[in-house]
Amino acid sequence: MKRNVLLLLVLLIAIHLQAGDIIGKDTTNSIRIKEIVVTASPKESKHFRQLPVTVSTISQHEMQACQVNSLKSMNGIVPNLFIPDYGSRLTSAIYIRGIGSRINTPSVGLYVDDIPYIDKSAFDFNFSDIESIEVLRGPQSTLYGRNAMGGLIKLHTKSPFSYQGTDLKLSAGTYDSYSASLTHYHRVSDKFAFSADGFYDKSGGFFNNVYLNKKADPFSDGGGRIRSIWLPKENLKLDLNVSYEYSDQGGYPYAKYDKTTGKTGDVSTNLESTYYRGLLNAGLNISYQTRNYTMSAMTSFQNLKDRMFMDQDFTAANMYSITQKQKQNTVTEEIVFKSTANKRYEYVCGAFGFYQSQNTNSPVNFGSDFLIASRMYPSVKSLSVPGEYDTPTMGAALFHQSTFNNILFKGLSASIGLRLDYEKTKISYNTNATINSQPMQTTILTGDAKDDYLQLLPKLALKYDFNDNKLGNVYASISKGYRSGGYNYQMFADLVQGLMMASPASDYTSSNVDVKSSIIYKPEYTWSYEAGTHLSLLDNKLTADLAAFYMDTRDQQIVKFAPSGLGRMTVNAGHSASLGAEASARAIITNALSLNASYGYTHATFKDYIGQVKNQQQQIVSVDYKDNYVPMIPQNTFSLGGEYAFTFQNCFINKLVFNAQYNGVGRIYWTESNDLTQKSYGLLNGKIGITMNKVQVDFWGRNLTDKSYATFGFVSSSNTFMQKGRPMQAGVDLRYRF
């Protein structure tokens, strides 16, 4: 595979040596491997590469070249970032440097046009109007709070003040895949501009359910965004952003995995797993600028309503299934004061608050095969364990960060920050089960539990600029990250079923069961130490970023399936450590040829973690996972790519662009016991683009070598399952700008 990639790059260089008569010396080619998009930020006064933070920036051109159309398509491109594409859009697990979260509170934050997305059920959405991406690695908790323990991803849409016209995009591909989007940008006057976007995507699915004889994972979604910017005064800006998206998909195409042969079978479930979601986001950014500072006020509202149905035994047997419905409303408010840049002393301070109401209705249904296998109720045909849970969460924070420039000598700066973060969580639960037996058995669990957390999140960073930052900088930092605790409400069915199995002739109520200790998990903390450099060389034709880090994490939240197989649960590992390094480089070889490469290494292991599993006698026993690798964390991420562009003068075709990208991750351990793995693999993607005035046609391919790999693996009810990665795809995009 690597030989194929090197061959493609050598071919691009060889073509360049023969192309002198095609490309003029004064070419108008605008292909740049590193396009710096300057976006105003409420909290940062400089571009991120000028700050003491490890960051990867992806421009819109790079998004198109690397075929980045969602968060889950960034694997390998950003060092030490891993976002597995599995399950459904409900499951958006993001891992950076050994820190991540499969369920519950995210450990990597997401902002869209400076509006926070609190819940990761909303992370996976359409990228039709996204202009640029910034990925900050390492804790950003001092300025961004509990969701930014592992890092931060910032997305930006196009400003209707800087871009005018209408973009139409049509796409068709294999596996019955189609998409369309239409976006209009209009500048009404020097004071008002707006944009409107609409899109629709459809896929027939990639994996067959052989039991139902239909695709397991068809997908469709549609929606749009309206953004308007008003400048009533020269120093006042109001930016309103409203979007809605509806998704409907098949999900969870898990298949049995044979450890002996290393083969993954076909999806075969007797019930069809599905997921749909309606997602509304609205945000208002108000920015007021004076000579000495900028005040920003950001208000947002998010409404999420979804339904997940899962055949939870993942087999053709009629064992058990779950239906989960969520209704979620989130309101956030943040006020930030930021000093004017390029002064001896700079500061940013502010206050943040949020409230999230969430109602979850999550009944678990036990089928006839399960009831017969249990040998307790052979006459009962089905059993449902309904459950309704209200889990409101609120939080508030105060933060301040000071930066002292040119201390001791010119070019040396120090940043000191502190955040006081408070969060309060609560759960009200109502679940029950009744079996018509002799005597009749009823189990009812109702009640509530609550917790609160108060954290101080400090940060200290030193930075030295080379030649007034014209050549780059070197930096070192220490920071603390934090992720709040919570409740495993999926475990109520497991708890009820366990009580009924233990004593079928008794009644249970919440008064004689310790529910809280069974469902709660504790907060997670990490201290991060890192050093790195940003370099800009050869008149910015070569940019490079290097960093090394060590993260010491306590009470790390680990997600696993319950021993019974009746749901996922979060548990706390006592202590883990993550050590690693990362490097990325982008080079403009000529006006036509550009290359990029990145590599990330993470060594994340448990230092103190005693887990519990069922042995062959179905007894719960303790297992010591010390020195085992933390699951879901790839040891390596890597990317190698190149682009070559022919530019033609006085020709029907203005530009012909060839692009090749090889992205990979691995090895990945899927379980704490490290007995289920995915070895390192790479995917070869490519694109040929043709530009003709206002029309652009792209012929693209993904996983061109049809590499077989797994995106997820787990063990449930003594069975091992995998989800296969998507096979080779090909298609064509048509863009028209007018």
Q: 223-244 pLDDT, tens per residue?
A: 999 999 999 999 999 999 999 9
Tell me, what's the pLDDT at 378?
59
103: tokens are: 């369920």
More confidently predicted of 206 and 449: 206
Collapsing DSSP to helix, strand or coil, 702 comes out as strand
**Separation of alpha carbons 361 and 255, rounded Å:** 27
pLDDT band with cut points at 50, 70 and 90 for residue 371: confident
Q: Identify residue 485 by its one-letter amino acid code.
A: G
Closest listed residue to residue 319, CA positions, set 564, 621, 127, 116: 564
**Separation of alpha carbons 475 and 547, rounded Å:** 9
Phi, psi of 64 (to 5 degrees): -70, -40
> DSSP string covering 213-258, please?
TEES--EEEEEEEEEEEEEEETTEEEEEEEEEEEEEEE----EEEE
Q: Specify burial of residue 454 (Cβ count, 10 A radius: 0-12, 13-18, 19+).
A: exposed
pLDDT band with cut points at 50, 70 and 90 for residue 40: low
Tell me, what's the pLDDT at 366?
81
Q: Sign of the CA dihedral 16, 19, 22, 26?
A: positive
**C-alpha angle 523/527/349, rounded to 5°?**
85
pLDDT band with cut points at 50, 70 and 90 for residue 584: very high
Tokens 């920050």 identify what position? Answer: 417
Q: What are the b/e assignments for 622-660, b being 16+ CB within 10 Å?
A: eeebeebbbbbbbbbbbbbbbbbbbbeeeeeebbbbbbb
> DSSP string covering 574-591, please?
EEEEEEEEEEEEEEE-SS
Tokens 């306590």 identify what position? Answer: 554
Q: Residues 8-21: pLDDT tens digits?
A: 343 333 333 333 33
Strand bridging mode 151-157 / 108-112: parallel
**Separation of alpha carbons 696 and 688, rounded Å:** 10
Collapsing DSSP to helix, strand or coil, 5 comes out as helix
CB 365 within 8 A of CB 387: no
Tokens 């004017």 identify what position? Answer: 340
| H or E stretch at 307 | strand 293-311
**Separation of alpha carbons 430 and 447, rounded Å:** 7
In percent, how much of the chain has pLDDT > 70?
A: 87
pLDDT band with cut points at 50, 70 and 90 for residue 440: low
Q: Sign of the CA dihedral 99, 101, 106, 108?
A: positive
Average of pLDDT values for 275-302?
Answer: 95
Tell me, what's the pLDDT at 233?
93
**Separation of alpha carbons 150 and 344, rounded Å:** 30
Q: What is the pTM for the complete model shown?
A: 0.90
Q: Residues 327-363: pLDDT tens digits?
A: 999 999 999 999 987 789 999 999 999 999 999 998 8
727: tokens are: 């096979």
Tokens 């001791």 identify what position? Answer: 408
508 secondary structure, DSSP code:
B
CB 219 within 8 A of CB 182: no
Collapsing DSSP to helix, strand or coil, 121 comes out as helix
More confidently predicted of 375 and 269: 269
In percent, how much of the chain has pLDDT > 90?
A: 63
Tell me, what's the pLDDT at 128?
86
**Separation of alpha carbons 36 and 719, rounded Å:** 49
Residue 127's beta-bridge partner residues?
none
183, HSE (Cβ side, Cα atoms, 13 Å): 28
First-last CA distance in the chain:
41
More confidently predicted of 330 and 484: 330
126: tokens are: 């359409």
**Res 594 pLDDT > 60:** yes
**Separation of alpha carbons 409 and 406, rounded Å:** 5
Average of pLDDT values for 286-302?
Answer: 95
Q: Sign of the CA dihedral 671, 676, 678, 679?
A: positive
DSSP strands (E only) in 340-379: 345-361, 364-366
**Res 563 pLDDT > 70:** no
Tell me, what's the pLDDT at 728?
97
343: tokens are: 């002064």
Q: Give the rounded distance of the alpha carbon of 660 from its chain centre.
A: 24
Tell me, what's the pLDDT at 628?
94
Residues 6+ apart with CB under 8 A from 502: none
| H or E stretch at 17 | helix 2-17
pLDDT band with cut points at 50, 70 and 90 for residue 454: very high
Pick the range with the lowest mean pLDDT from 515-524, 539-548, 645-654: 515-524
Q: Give the residue extent of every domain in the chain.
A: 2-737
pLDDT band with cut points at 50, 70 and 90 for residue 612: confident
| H or E stretch at 683 | strand 681-692
CB 164 within 8 A of CB 185: yes
**Separation of alpha carbons 379 and 374, rounded Å:** 11
Average of pLDDT values for 470-486?
Answer: 92
667: preceding bond cis by omega (within 30 degrees)? yes
**Separation of alpha carbons 405 and 462, rounded Å:** 10
More confidently predicted of 439 and 610: 610
**Separation of alpha carbons 683 and 709, rounded Å:** 10
Tell me, what's the pLDDT at 500?
63
Q: Give the rounded distance of the alpha carbon of 584 from its chain centre.
A: 20
Tell me, what's the pLDDT at 85?
87
Q: Sign of the CA dihedral 84, 685, 667, 604?
A: negative
> DSSP string covering 287-298, please?
EEE-SSEEEEEE
**Separation of alpha carbons 518 and 201, rounded Å:** 42
Superfamily of domain 2-737: TonB-dependent receptor, beta-barrel domain (2.40.170.20)
Tell me, what's the pLDDT at 3?
44
Residue 324's beta-bridge partner residues?
308
**Separation of alpha carbons 551 and 549, rounded Å:** 7
CB 558 within 8 A of CB 528: no
Tell me, what's the pLDDT at 569?
75
Using alpha carbons, list the distances in angstroms from residue 440 to 144, 322, 443, 481, 507. Answer: 53, 24, 10, 50, 9
pLDDT band with cut points at 50, 70 and 90 for residue 33: very low
329, HSE (Cβ side, Cα atoms, 13 Å): 1
CB 79 within 8 A of CB 58: no
**Separation of alpha carbons 669 and 712, rounded Å:** 10
**Separation of alpha carbons 475 and 463, rounded Å:** 4
| H or E stretch at 372 | helix 368-374
pLDDT band with cut points at 50, 70 and 90 for residue 502: low
pLDDT band with cut points at 50, 70 and 90 for residue 188: very high
More confidently predicted of 447 and 250: 250
Tokens 């694109």 identify what position? Answer: 687
Q: Residues 665-702: pLDDT tens digits?
A: 989 999 989 999 999 999 999 999 999 989 999 999 99
